[in-house]
Amino acid sequence: MIVFPKGHRGYVEGMDVLSDVVSTVRTGHPRSARVEWYAPWGMRFTGSEPPGSGFHVILQGSCRLFMDGRPSIPLGPGDVVFLPRGDEHSLASGPDVSPSDLGCVDFLRRRDGLLSPEPGEPVPNLVCSERLPQPFQRFGAATSGALGKEGASELSCVTVSGFYHSGGARPHPLLADLPSVVHLAARPDRRSELPLAVGLLGRELGSQRPGADTLVPHLLDMMLVYILRTHLEECTGEEGEGRGFTGALRDPAVHAALRAVHLDPAHPWTVEGLGERAGLSRAAFSRRFGSLVGMPPLTYVTWWRLTLAARLLRETDTSIDTIAARAGYASRFAFAGAFKREFGVPPARYREEEHEEAPSPGSPAAQASAT
């Protein structure tokens, strides 16, 4: 990452709200898998708990996505579907296939004969198994479907899927404003970044070459940025243009204020000061900001400060005094009170609980869970 000195033009241009949104989506390592599906096949993905976001990309072939209360979505090569809140859904080779129960979105299975199905029987799947080697608990490759007497039936579909575990993180309001499923159909006129990211991720997951442990998590973050960016650039009408946080990012005045807050969250912001950044009067700015973001300006400032503080508590060993200052609080006492009102526990206890629930990769606890 390039870090510009504060005040440098590149520093300002490098800070954007979407990048900060992505940083709040997940904790720890994202998970993913490249899966070859052999017809007939179907798989049900239950709602994730703890919550998270996930996506599916069709690399080859076709399938359908099913969600309760809405028509099925036909998917073809290059199509991307993003589920911002990890809602329950199914993928299947056709409408007459009964999906099996996967249990969670971060599905994985090794393809080295660990599970050997009998001819004509469905290929079994490991569901978040602790028996898998640690790298395969994060991402891997798999085959699934029916096997014929002479071997595998016809390859029906190849997918790449990813899951971002949010853990103790608080999803950004942008995710709450998105529809339950975002479908980005393949288009020849679309910029090449998203298909390029899909291709890179698919090749890394399919080959398991050296260095994948380092590359894949970064490719998954890149996928998330491109999915959200593409949706924000293309959504129109009923999909959210001009409404909610999506509308806030499209509104030049509100976006200017959001950029200012994200650039310097510790600044002693006032409604008047943010209105000046937006080029609006105090009253006009407050109305526009509240109607789009869904909360008053200073409420959002506090929300974002404490969200950043929680992330620092989870992911770093930075002292609570330093975190309080970065979050714009004059004292540790004031910060602790605000944090407890928001999260229900003091900062120190929050840090302890998060570390207890999510051991870092490579730690003794993580290695123990892989055996």
- Whether residue 371 is contained in a domain is answered as no
SS3 category, 34: strand
pLDDT at residue 94, as a whole number: 81
**Are 206 and 255 in a shared domain?**
no
The predicted model gives 91-117 an average pLDDT of: 50
Please give the mean pLDDT across all residues of the chain: 75
Domain count, the chain: 2
- What digits encode the pLDDT tens for the residues 321-354? 999 999 999 999 999 999 999 999 999 999 988 7
Cβ atoms < 10 Å from Cβ of 52: 26
pLDDT at residue 183, as a whole number: 94
pLDDT at residue 221, as a whole number: 86
**Are 160 and 115 in a shared domain?**
yes
Virtual torsion, Cα 30, 367, 207, 203, nearest 10 deg: 10
State which residues form the domain around 249.
Answer: 9-17+242-357
End-of-domain residue from the set 200, 215, 238: 238
Q: Tokens 């409604």 appear where? A: 271
**Are 188 and 104 in a shared domain?**
yes
**Are 30 and 90 in a shared domain?**
yes
DSSP 146: B
Count Cα neighbours of 365 within 13 Å in the Cβ-side half-sphere.
6
- Whether residue 369 is contained in a domain is answered as no
- Whether residue 141 is contained in a domain is answered as yes
pLDDT at residue 114, as a whole number: 27
End-of-domain residue from the set 220, 238, 256: 238
Phi, psi of 272 (to 5 degrees): -60, -45
- What digits encode the pLDDT tens for the residues 59-82? 999 999 999 888 999 999 999 999
- Whether residue 366 is contained in a domain is answered as no
The CATH number assigned to the domain holding 276 equals: 1.10.10.60
- Whether residue 204 is contained in a domain is answered as yes
Q: What is the pTM of this model?
A: 0.74
- Whether residue 46 is contained in a domain is answered as yes
End-of-domain residue from the set 223, 238, 253: 238
pLDDT at residue 273, as a whole number: 97
pLDDT at residue 156, as a whole number: 83
**Are 218 and 267 in a shared domain?**
no
